[in-house]
Amino acid sequence: MPGPASVDHNSYPDSYIREILRNVRSIAMVGASATWNRPSNFAMKYLLKKGFKVIPVNPNAAVKKICGETVFPDLSSLPGTVDMVDIFRPAEDAPELVEEAIKIGAKVFWMQLEIRHAEAAKRAEEAGLQVVMDRCPKIEYARLTGELGWNGINTGVISNRRKRL
Protein backbone atom coordinates (compact mmCIF):
# COMPACT_ATOMS: atom_id res chain seq x y z
CA MET A 1 0.00 0.00 0.00
CA PRO A 2 2.65 2.57 -0.97
CA GLY A 3 1.63 6.16 -0.45
CA PRO A 4 1.14 8.56 -3.32
CA ALA A 5 4.06 10.94 -3.86
CA SER A 6 1.99 14.08 -3.42
CA VAL A 7 -1.14 13.98 -1.30
CA ASP A 8 -2.77 17.27 -0.41
CA HIS A 9 -2.66 17.10 3.38
CA ASN A 10 -5.12 19.97 3.66
CA SER A 11 -7.95 18.15 1.90
CA TYR A 12 -8.02 14.37 1.64
CA PRO A 13 -10.39 12.79 -0.87
CA ASP A 14 -12.84 10.40 0.74
CA SER A 15 -11.44 7.67 -1.51
CA TYR A 16 -7.98 8.06 0.08
CA ILE A 17 -9.30 7.76 3.66
CA ARG A 18 -11.70 4.97 2.68
CA GLU A 19 -8.88 2.94 1.07
CA ILE A 20 -6.78 3.24 4.21
CA LEU A 21 -9.61 2.22 6.54
CA ARG A 22 -10.54 -0.72 4.29
CA ASN A 23 -6.97 -2.05 4.13
CA VAL A 24 -5.87 -1.49 7.73
CA ARG A 25 -6.60 -4.30 10.18
CA SER A 26 -4.08 -3.58 12.95
CA ILE A 27 -3.32 -0.24 14.59
CA ALA A 28 -0.62 0.74 17.07
CA MET A 29 -2.12 3.62 19.05
CA VAL A 30 0.74 5.71 20.42
CA GLY A 31 -0.40 7.71 23.43
CA ALA A 32 -3.31 5.41 24.26
CA SER A 33 -4.80 6.17 27.67
CA ALA A 34 -6.66 4.03 30.20
CA THR A 35 -8.55 7.13 31.37
CA TRP A 36 -12.11 6.58 30.17
CA ASN A 37 -12.77 10.18 29.11
CA ARG A 38 -9.58 10.73 27.08
CA PRO A 39 -10.00 10.94 23.28
CA SER A 40 -7.57 8.07 22.73
CA ASN A 41 -9.68 5.82 24.95
CA PHE A 42 -12.86 6.68 23.02
CA ALA A 43 -11.10 6.06 19.70
CA MET A 44 -9.58 2.78 20.87
CA LYS A 45 -12.89 1.39 22.16
CA TYR A 46 -14.68 2.38 18.96
CA LEU A 47 -12.06 0.90 16.62
CA LEU A 48 -11.94 -2.33 18.64
CA LYS A 49 -15.74 -2.61 18.32
CA LYS A 50 -15.40 -2.16 14.55
CA GLY A 51 -13.09 -5.17 14.33
CA PHE A 52 -9.69 -3.49 14.22
CA LYS A 53 -6.86 -4.93 16.30
CA VAL A 54 -5.70 -1.94 18.34
CA ILE A 55 -2.46 -2.18 20.30
CA PRO A 56 -1.91 0.51 22.94
CA VAL A 57 1.57 2.05 23.06
CA ASN A 58 2.41 4.27 26.03
CA PRO A 59 5.73 4.33 27.91
CA ASN A 60 4.11 6.17 30.82
CA ALA A 61 1.04 3.97 31.23
CA ALA A 62 0.38 3.12 34.87
CA VAL A 63 -1.52 0.01 33.79
CA LYS A 64 -0.57 -3.14 31.90
CA LYS A 65 -3.78 -3.25 29.84
CA ILE A 66 -6.01 -0.70 28.15
CA CYS A 67 -9.44 -1.84 26.91
CA GLY A 68 -8.25 -5.41 27.58
CA GLU A 69 -5.20 -5.06 25.31
CA THR A 70 -1.60 -5.32 26.53
CA VAL A 71 0.22 -1.97 26.66
CA PHE A 72 3.67 -1.72 25.05
CA PRO A 73 6.24 0.98 25.93
CA ASP A 74 7.22 1.76 22.32
CA LEU A 75 6.72 0.63 18.74
CA SER A 76 9.90 -1.45 18.68
CA SER A 77 8.48 -3.58 21.53
CA LEU A 78 5.46 -4.73 19.53
CA PRO A 79 5.36 -8.51 18.99
CA GLY A 80 4.70 -8.22 15.25
CA THR A 81 3.96 -5.76 12.50
CA VAL A 82 1.02 -3.38 12.37
CA ASP A 83 -0.68 -1.79 9.39
CA MET A 84 -1.05 1.66 10.91
CA VAL A 85 0.57 3.84 13.55
CA ASP A 86 -1.95 6.33 14.98
CA ILE A 87 -0.40 9.02 17.18
CA PHE A 88 -2.01 10.85 20.08
CA ARG A 89 1.23 12.72 20.75
CA PRO A 90 2.43 16.30 20.20
CA ALA A 91 3.54 17.18 16.68
CA GLU A 92 7.17 17.49 17.75
CA ASP A 93 7.18 13.73 18.51
CA ALA A 94 6.13 12.87 14.94
CA PRO A 95 9.61 12.67 13.31
CA GLU A 96 10.89 10.13 15.82
CA LEU A 97 7.65 8.14 15.63
CA VAL A 98 7.80 8.11 11.81
CA GLU A 99 11.27 6.56 11.99
CA GLU A 100 9.96 3.88 14.37
CA ALA A 101 6.93 3.27 12.13
CA ILE A 102 9.22 2.78 9.14
CA LYS A 103 11.43 0.35 11.11
CA ILE A 104 8.48 -1.83 12.13
CA GLY A 105 7.05 -1.96 8.60
CA ALA A 106 3.87 0.07 9.10
CA LYS A 107 1.98 1.02 5.95
CA VAL A 108 0.15 4.09 7.28
CA PHE A 109 1.20 6.93 9.59
CA TRP A 110 -1.85 8.74 11.00
CA MET A 111 -1.62 11.96 13.06
CA GLN A 112 -4.65 12.76 15.16
CA LEU A 113 -6.73 15.94 15.21
CA GLU A 114 -4.64 19.12 15.45
CA ILE A 115 -1.41 17.19 14.84
CA ARG A 116 0.49 18.22 11.72
CA HIS A 117 4.15 17.81 10.84
CA ALA A 118 5.05 18.36 7.18
CA GLU A 119 8.62 17.03 7.45
CA ALA A 120 7.49 13.84 9.20
CA ALA A 121 4.80 13.35 6.55
CA LYS A 122 7.34 13.82 3.76
CA ARG A 123 9.75 11.32 5.35
CA ALA A 124 6.96 8.75 5.79
CA GLU A 125 5.80 9.16 2.18
CA GLU A 126 9.37 8.84 0.89
CA ALA A 127 9.52 5.52 2.74
CA GLY A 128 6.27 4.39 1.06
CA LEU A 129 3.80 5.00 3.89
CA GLN A 130 0.43 6.63 3.39
CA VAL A 131 0.00 9.65 5.66
CA VAL A 132 -2.99 11.36 7.23
CA MET A 133 -2.69 14.48 9.39
CA ASP A 134 -5.17 16.34 11.57
CA ARG A 135 -7.86 13.66 11.33
CA CYS A 136 -9.24 10.96 13.63
CA PRO A 137 -9.79 7.43 12.25
CA LYS A 138 -12.79 6.99 14.58
CA ILE A 139 -14.47 10.12 13.21
CA GLU A 140 -13.53 9.33 9.62
CA TYR A 141 -14.85 5.76 9.89
CA ALA A 142 -18.13 7.01 11.38
CA ARG A 143 -18.41 9.76 8.76
CA LEU A 144 -17.75 7.44 5.82
CA THR A 145 -20.17 4.77 7.05
CA GLY A 146 -22.93 7.22 7.96
CA GLU A 147 -22.73 6.46 11.69
CA LEU A 148 -22.31 10.12 12.61
CA GLY A 149 -25.91 10.67 11.50
CA TRP A 150 -27.10 7.78 13.67
CA ASN A 151 -25.69 9.60 16.68
CA GLY A 152 -27.57 12.82 15.99
CA ILE A 153 -24.75 14.65 14.26
CA ASN A 154 -26.05 16.88 11.47
CA THR A 155 -24.06 15.62 8.49
CA GLY A 156 -26.38 17.10 5.88
CA VAL A 157 -27.05 13.63 4.46
CA ILE A 158 -30.52 12.13 4.68
CA SER A 159 -30.78 8.46 3.84
CA ASN A 160 -32.45 5.30 5.05
CA ARG A 161 -29.59 3.17 3.74
CA ARG A 162 -26.49 2.23 5.65
CA LYS A 163 -23.32 3.23 3.81
CA ARG A 164 -20.56 0.72 3.16
CA LEU A 165 -17.01 1.63 3.94
Which of the listed CATH numbers 3.40.640.10, 1.20.1250.20, 3.40.50.720, 3.40.50.410 matches domain 14-136? 3.40.50.720
Higher-scoring residue by pLDDT: 79, 62: 79
Q: Tell which residue, 86, 85, 82, 64, has the closest CA to residue 73.
A: 64
**CB atoms < 10 A from the CB of 165, how many?**
13
For the chain, what's the residue count?
165
Q: Tell which residue, 44, 42, 39, 38, has the closest CA to residue 56.
A: 44
- Is the pLDDT score of 1 beyond 50? no
The whole model's pTM is what? 0.88
Per-residue model confidence as pLDDT tens digits over 135-162: 999 999 999 998 865 555 554 555 556 5
Per-residue model confidence as pLDDT tens digits over 155-164: 455 555 656 6
Mean pLDDT, residues 88-116: 98
